[in-house]
Each structure stands twice: as structure tokens, then as C-alpha cells.
Amino acid sequence: MQKNKKETAVSAAVIKRLPRYFRYLRMLLNENKLRVSSNELADMMNVTASQIRQDLNCFGGFGQQGYGYNVTYLYGKISEILGVNENYQAIIVGAGRLGQALASSPVFTKRGVEVCALFDKNPEIIGKEIDGRRILDISELKEFCNENLIDIAVLTLPSDHADEAAKLVASIGIKGIWNFTSKEISASDYPGVTVQSVHMGDSLMMLCYDLRSKDE
């Protein structure tokens, strides 16, 4: 999708909220709701109606005074902004329990991303199929990516191999890294590559902190 000038100026905070709009609008579609007001959406998302209007106005508004938002249209526009319609192709590097669980999850297909294959170096699992996707030897990764247009590499391998894997996928030309390792991978080390890191341990520790704080 070609970004316009207005979209490129949108703050990171607004962009971070867009996936929530995507999720709640999909819920409304599943309920066959045709339109929604900013107040109704605000109640669902536990934010203010003003915040919703401000966020959506960054991309053109999409609403009509006295009517609200057409749910199907707004969902389509948010999907377009988030790249859901781009048919991105992904591979998973590290086919252990986490890698296999992600491959079996609907998280990718619901967001327009297709997982094409998994890669590992463990001979005990190479050749195994996970939801119709084969686990290939890591030595085949470069050839596979040269033959297939892969946009995203999902790293779920041990952290001590994260830098090596990131360097490999970046050298092949993969432009997106979804990092599930505890190793910090800096996009500045790989020009032209976008990195998003998911630190599940950090999130769990914040939950534990909140629980302890309430107990005190």
C-alpha cells in the first residue's frame, strides 16, 4: 500500500492503537452490526470518544456526523492501513514448542499473513508437518527464501542464536523480523529491516509487579 503524506506523519502512539480498532471492529462485524458511533466504540475499548475521533481523523476521519461509522467500511480502511490486504508471506525460524504453537495459531491468517514454512536444525523434528507446513532444515532457508517471496521472519529459536538468525534473514532480503527471543535485536543494525520484539517474560513480570503492588 502506498502511504500518503498524512499517514507518514501519524504518531507511533496512534499506530499502536490501530490493531485494537481492527480487533473490535471485527467483533462488531461478527455480530452483524452495520454501524457504530464513536461513543459506542469508546465504551467497548475503554477509551474516550474524543480519542477515537482524533485517531481516525489522522487518516481522514471515515465517519459521518449523525450516523457514526460504517463498520464494514472502517474495518476495510483500518485493514488497508495495517497492511492486512498485502498478502505478506512469513517463515518461522525455530520450530520448537513456541514456533509450532504459533504456526498452529490463527493469529497470522486473521491478519492476512501466510506462514509458508518452519525451519530448525533438530533432526528429530525436521520433516514433520505443522498444520500442513513442513519443518525444513535451517540449511535450506536461504534457498527457500530465494525461491519464495518472504516478507517476514518470525524468530522463536534460542536467544543465543538470535543475532545469527537475524543477520541471515536480513542478508537474504527479508524486510520484517518478529522477534520472540529475549535477545534485543536492533533495526539499526539491519538497514531497511523493521523489527518488532515480543517479550512475554517482561509482560508476565509486569503482571506480577501489579499483583504484588495490590497486595501491599
pLDDT single digits (tens) 64-92:
776 789 999 999 999 999 999 999 999 99
pLDDT at 66: 67
Average pLDDT over every residue of 170-193: 94
pLDDT at 6: 47
DSSP type of residue 105: S
Average pLDDT over every residue of 6-35: 88
Work out the number of other CB atoms within 10 angstroms of the CB of residue 188: 7
110 has a pLDDT exceeding 70: yes
Count CA within 13 A, CB hemisphere, residue 181.
25
pLDDT at 5: 44
Helix (H) or strand (E) holding 195: strand 194-197
3-state secondary structure at position 140: helix
Average pLDDT over every residue of 102-114: 95
E-assigned strands of 63-160? 63-64, 68-70, 88-93, 113-120, 129-130, 133-137, 152-155
pLDDT at 10: 84
Torsion angle in degrees (nearest 10) through CA of 120, 122, 125, 128: 40
- Nearest to 153, CA basis, from 111, 101, 118, 198: 118
- Mean per-residue pLDDT of the chain: 92
**Which is it for strands 63-64 and 129-130: parallel, antiparallel or unpaired?**
unpaired
State what percent of residues in the chain have pLDDT above 90: 86
3-state secondary structure at position 116: strand
pTM of the model: 0.87
Average pLDDT over every residue of 29-42: 94
Average pLDDT over every residue of 1-13: 62
Cell numbers that stand for 18 in this block? 490501530
